[in-house]
């Protein structure tokens, strides 16, 4: 019975530890992707692009920033 309880506690501790490590990695990302997207959208709006193009440029800037942060093999992107 003691082995079963110890195994259950160990499994729970390992599971929580793995979950905590994954969340810590997400928190280490630079939150400036929102800023990059809004800066790009502001520029596009000032240049006189239509609304759909402004949205596309903002989406591209956000995606580009996010990929640069998540890329392990090519950090300079």
As for how many domains the chain has, the answer is 2
Render pLDDT for 19-36 as a digit per residue (tens, 0 to 9).
555 555 555 555 678 898
Residue pointed to by tokens 């596009």: 44
Over 80: is that where the pLDDT of 57 sits?
yes
* Domain hosting residue 20, numbered range: 1-30
- 3-state SS, 2-61, equals HHHHHHHHHHHHHHHHHHHHHHHHHHCCCCCHHHHHHHHHHHHHHCCCCHHHHHHHHHHH
What is the pTM for the complete model shown?
A: 0.55
Q: Is residue 76 located within the same domain as residue 39?
A: yes
C-alpha–C-alpha distance, residues 68 and 20, integer Å:
23
Q: Between 8 and 63, whose confidence is greater?
A: 63
- Clarify whether residues 6 and 16 are in a common domain: yes
CA distance 44 to 53: 8
Q: Residues 74, 45: one domain?
A: yes
Q: Are residues 6 and 38 in the same domain?
A: no
Q: Are residues 40 and 72 in the same domain?
A: yes
Task: Name the average pLDDT for the chain.
Answer: 75
pLDDT at residue 66 in the model: 85
| Band of pLDDT at residue 18, cut at 50, 70 and 90 | low
Residue 55 and residue 19 share a domain? no
């Amino acid at each position: 019975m003691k082995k079963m309880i110890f195994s259950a506690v160990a499994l729970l501790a390992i599971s929580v530890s793995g979950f905590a490590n994954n969340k810590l990695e997400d928190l280490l990302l630079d939150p400036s992707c929102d800023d990059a997207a809004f800066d790009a959208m502001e520029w596009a709006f000032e240049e006189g692009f239509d609304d759909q193009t402004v949205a596309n440029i903002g989406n591209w800037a956000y995606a580009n920033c996010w990929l640069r942060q998540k890329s392990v093999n090519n950090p300079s992107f």
